[in-house]
Structure 1
Amino acid sequence: MEDIEDLVREGADLIAPRSRNSVMPRVRRRKVLPSEEAIEEPECESQCTSIIPGTQKVYLKTWGCAHNSSDSEYMAGQLAAYGYKIVDEKFDADVWVLNSCTVKNPAEDHFRNEIKAGREAGKKVVVAGCVSQAAPRSEFLEGLSIIGVQQIDRVVEVVEETLKEEIVARAKQSFSEGVCEVWLTSEDTGAYGRDIGVSLPELLWQLVEVIPEGCRLRLGMTNPPYILDHLEEMSKIMQHPRVYAFLHVPVQSGSDGVLGEMKREYTVNEFCRVVDFLKSRVPGITIATDIICGFPTETEEDFQETVKLCSKYKFPSLFINQFYPRPGTPAAKMQRIPTKEVKNRTRRLTEVFQSYRPYDHKLGEKQTVLVTEEAHDKEHWVGHNKYYEQVLVPKNEDFLGKLVEVEIIETGKHYMRGRPIETSKPISPAMTEYLPKGEISGFLSTQDISDSNKRNQMKEDLAKQERYIILSFILLISALLVKLAWVCFKMLNGNMID
């Protein structure tokens, strides 16, 4: 059964890449209007530092979910391996790669604006992700190279990676490069292995074995149907000290009627079974979920069922989205609920979410947090405890990438603030120093490659010198032997004459 969120329009003219290593961009040329015939496109000479492929600078921007971010990291790695330099400053780049998301219209608006900015700056623009695939003939995509998300091909790719054990190998590599936290993510992590006779828990147990002590694994989103068969094993994995007791399980609505119209393959009761089981087996586990307000068939009674569900569980992380129709989906043809009512329901559910504070009871607790990133206020580091709850700590340079013992001294709606315990020293769980900023995981740096090339060249030069010396020595010995033979011949010949 197809998901209502599946955005690939029937009959869309897209080329599916054979594999991730052979992405085939499709270039669509803009039709030239009579009034534009004399207008030339801006030349690349002022921006491009070289016309040799693999030598230019690339700027890569991502919108959307963790899976989109993962795709972008992969593309960055492929580009870097080929010789392109990934840069943070977009106007220094020769090419912009923009990876899009369809979850919310505002993200699509940012995507459109970035494309416009790139064109106005005379940059070469490549678009990727689900926005470009959902509506490849959109006016704002005309003339651009498009890399579409082909879900079937992605499934085949995951299978190939599974058979080659590349996921576990990639985790090993990451930890060997100083990484202390990895995310296992996809469009639906729970569906892993269903088509090849394996399961997500089997993969997770293999990953747990290669995670160093003190490092952490975070699981990505999974829909209810794909985890119901593995609740017992998943609860054991979530209890493991190297795995965050956190799971993102989107429910979307508290009404079975709405879920049916959405073509979701689960019921509210099945969602509750997942949540109740995990909460009973993994005390303190964090369950995050998503809600869509204002789906076309949602009635006030349906909405009240959603409010009741959210009030029951008081999810610490609740992502509330207004319904937006996507081109090519069944929902796009349905009669929409008035925008005013959609906003009203969104506001009411948000008020329910804001009515409780999930962390107040933890005030005064002592916790161990893994510090991994900078906070939005730029004044704190962000650490996460075993339950992937956000704990702000002072921005001490010695804390980043380390396990820090703290006492919770403040709680907010979305965070806690911890005071480091002076008698406890930060501990680095990483196997080595993490890669410097700008270096791509899995590939040697430019300096490393240069040094390696120099060492190889020196080895070749030494080998040549050794061959020359040996050859010269052989020639010298041969000459001496010839000379000796000649002398011996002369002596023998003289004796015979006498």
Structure 2
Amino acid sequence: MADLEDLAVTAASVSAAARRAKARPGFVVPRHDRSRREQAEGDSFIPGSKTIFLRTWGCSHNNSDGEYMAGLLSAAGYTISDKREGADLWILNSCTVKTPSEDTFNNEIRDARSRNIPVVLAGCVPQTMQIDRVVEVVEETLQGRTVRLLGSKKVDGRKTGGTALDLPKIRRNPLIEIIPINTGCLNKCTYCKTKHARGDLGSYTIQEIVQRVQQVIAEGVVEIWLTSEDTGAYGRDINTSIPELLRAILAVVPAGVMVRLGMTNPPYIVEHVQAIAECLRHPRMYKFIHIPIQSGANPILHAMQREYTREDFCFVADTLLEQVPALTIATDIICGFPGETDADFEDTFEIVRRYHFPSLFTNQFFPRPGTPAAAMERVDPRLVKQRTKELSDYFRGYRVYDDQLDSYQRVLVTDTATDNVHFVAHNRSFDQVLVPANPDFMGKLIVVKITNVNKFFIVRARSPSS
């Protein structure tokens, strides 16, 4: 198993491979596993000749990392598979946000061990961000060596956004490009391990991102997702801002291509809220924004160290909803954070009643090992489950799309629905619209009449025009 971690450079390895690599920053230092190495050498290992199973958990940033790793390995000749069976090595690209995701990740490791299959661990659990070195690590691992990846991504002494954006990539959906605009964050939330995994804020330059946008559009991409651990914090480390980036991107995006902004925490868009509203009104940008509130109670937000108040969130939400017609705001809520009283939970519930979020991610509090919140006195788990159920039941009980029935809308078709009968499209508000699976529609903007609405999606019967 290859345990990839960002470590300080240690003593030079005695292996020939390490000596050859020593001149490269962040070189791989092998530690020999004799039995596996003898087995690998007996199989006459040839670089690029094996099949790699790659699985990714977590956010869109993690998914982008997985697509880059797949692209780099494919360019080196490896076969990338989404099936475990028949694979010569597994790459597990992990998420550390939630305990269930990490538990599944650990179960996968045990499964691989039981099959005697070598594993490369990547992502947030082992805190590995140097995905551009994945080919080296895979080749070392397939030769029976256990390796650790050293060093960190820095240019001129400062942290960068991470892997170069122009590397090879295999997109899970060829029409959708996920572009990480920065990595890391500025917050120190008491419940979160993302800071441990991704570190401090490191932004790509506007030029790097715009060049990537132009590149992927030339490759046929029609939908661009801008992602990071906190898009609102973009540029604070390089003297720019998220509105400046959005303006630069929208200046080069042609008709027929749509841009979606990823998650942003409230503290970092308060000062930019007017400029963000202006960008969200642009015809080639989805009227969608993900702003996690986590709790509607100020004492709990303080205990979480979220660096904003309930009033700050409402100011941002109210301003954007007023200035961007048909805006969709998605949010996250943690139920049962340590110290949450009935009154605190009611404050959170009132926020949901006020805004009727079309997209609401409700999670029970899980203590993440090594975080300050893990040492706090927990709320009775039965009460946490009850509060989570109450909030989830309320969310499932209201509908937000009924007023769109019989309307005509322009939607962008980008995917196939799980029923294999419809294609998936999105309107300007990033509402999911199911359309007939006509091959002529894929990748196109079409005008549709809404003929049916559901709690979670919209359906139309036929397209009056294209």
TM over 0.5: yes
CA distance 1:389–1:41, shift in 2 (3 Å)? same
The one of 49, 59, 76 aligned to 2:53 = 59
User: 1:139 matched to which residue of 2?
Assistant: none
CA distance 1:95–1:328, shift in 2 (3 Å)? same
Q: Which amino acid aligns with 2:391?
A: L
Secondary structure at 1:165 match in 2: helix
Please tell me whether the aligned partners of residues 203 and 238 of structure 2 are also in contact (alpha carbons under 8 angstroms).
no
User: 2:115 matched to which residue of 1?
Assistant: 121
Q: Which amino acid aligns with 1:105?
A: T
The one of 288, 310, 315 aligned to 1:246 = 288
CA distance 1:253–1:164, shift in 2 (3 Å)? closer
Q: Which amino acid aligns with 2:410?
A: T
- Matching of residues 159-170 of structure 1 within 5 Å: 162-163=204-205, 165-170=207-212
CA distance 1:144–1:420, shift in 2 (3 Å)? farther
Q: Which amino acid aligns with 1:406?
A: V
2:342 equivalent to 1:300: yes
CA distance 1:116–1:279, shift in 2 (3 Å)? same
Please tell me whether the aligned partners of residues 59 and 96 of structure 1 are also in contact (alpha carbons under 8 angstroms).
yes
- Matching of residues 358-397 of structure 1 within 5 Å: 358-397=400-439
Higher RCO, Cα 8 Å, sep 6+ = 1
CA distance 1:249–1:163, shift in 2 (3 Å)? closer
User: 1:190 matched to which residue of 2?
Assistant: 232
- State the Cα distance separating 1:276 from its structure 2 match: 0.4
2:71 equivalent to 1:106: no
CA distance in 1, matches of 2:323, 2:391: 29
Please tell me whether the aligned partners of residues 203 and 235 of structure 2 are also in contact (alpha carbons under 8 angstroms).
no
Please tell me whether the aligned partners of residues 43 and 122 of structure 1 are also in contact (alpha carbons under 8 angstroms).
no
Please tell me whether the aligned partners of residues 290 and 330 of structure 2 are also in contact (alpha carbons under 8 angstroms).
yes
The one of 252, 257, 271 aligned to 1:215 = 257
2:64 equivalent to 1:70: yes
User: 2:189 matched to which residue of 1?
Assistant: none
- State the Cα distance separating 1:28 from its structure 2 match: 8.0
TM-score normalised per structure 2: 0.77
CA distance 1:43–1:176, shift in 2 (3 Å)? same
CA distance in 2, matches of 1:295, 1:198: 34
The one of 333, 341, 362 aligned to 2:375 = 333
Larger radius of gyration: 1
Please tell me whether the aligned partners of residues 412 and 444 of structure 2 are also in contact (alpha carbons under 8 angstroms).
yes
CA distance 1:416–1:120, shift in 2 (3 Å)? same
- Matching of residues 393-412 of structure 1 within 5 Å: 393-412=435-454
Secondary structure at 2:111 match in 1: helix
- State the Cα distance separating 1:50 from its structure 2 match: 5.6
Q: From the two aligned structures, give the one with the greater strand fraction.
A: 2
Identical counterparts, % of pairs: 48
Deviations 1:119-147 (A, max 9, x none): 2233210111222339xxxxxxxx97566
User: 2:177 matched to which residue of 1?
Assistant: none
TM-score normalised per structure 1: 0.73
User: 2:269 matched to which residue of 1?
Assistant: 227
- Matching of residues 260-299 of structure 1 within 5 Å: 260-299=302-341
CA distance in 2, matches of 1:50, 1:215: 47
CA distance in 1, matches of 2:376, 2:31: 31
CA distance in 1, matches of 2:275, 2:39: 56
CA distance 1:54–1:315, shift in 2 (3 Å)? same
Structure 1, unmatched stretches of 5+, are 1-12, 31-38, 135-142, 426-498
- State the Cα distance separating 1:338 from its structure 2 match: 1.7
Structure 2, unmatched stretches of 5+, are 10-23, 129-144, 163-181, 183-200
Please tell me whether the aligned partners of residues 98 and 111 of structure 1 are also in contact (alpha carbons under 8 angstroms).
yes
CA distance in 2, matches of 1:162, 1:393: 37
CA distance in 2, matches of 1:149, 1:266: 34
- State the Cα distance separating 1:378 from its structure 2 match: 2.7
CA distance 1:168–1:298, shift in 2 (3 Å)? same
CA distance in 2, matches of 1:53, 1:321: 43
Secondary structure at 1:97 match in 2: strand
Q: From the two aligned structures, give the one with the greater helix fraction.
A: 1
User: 2:215 matched to which residue of 1?
Assistant: 173
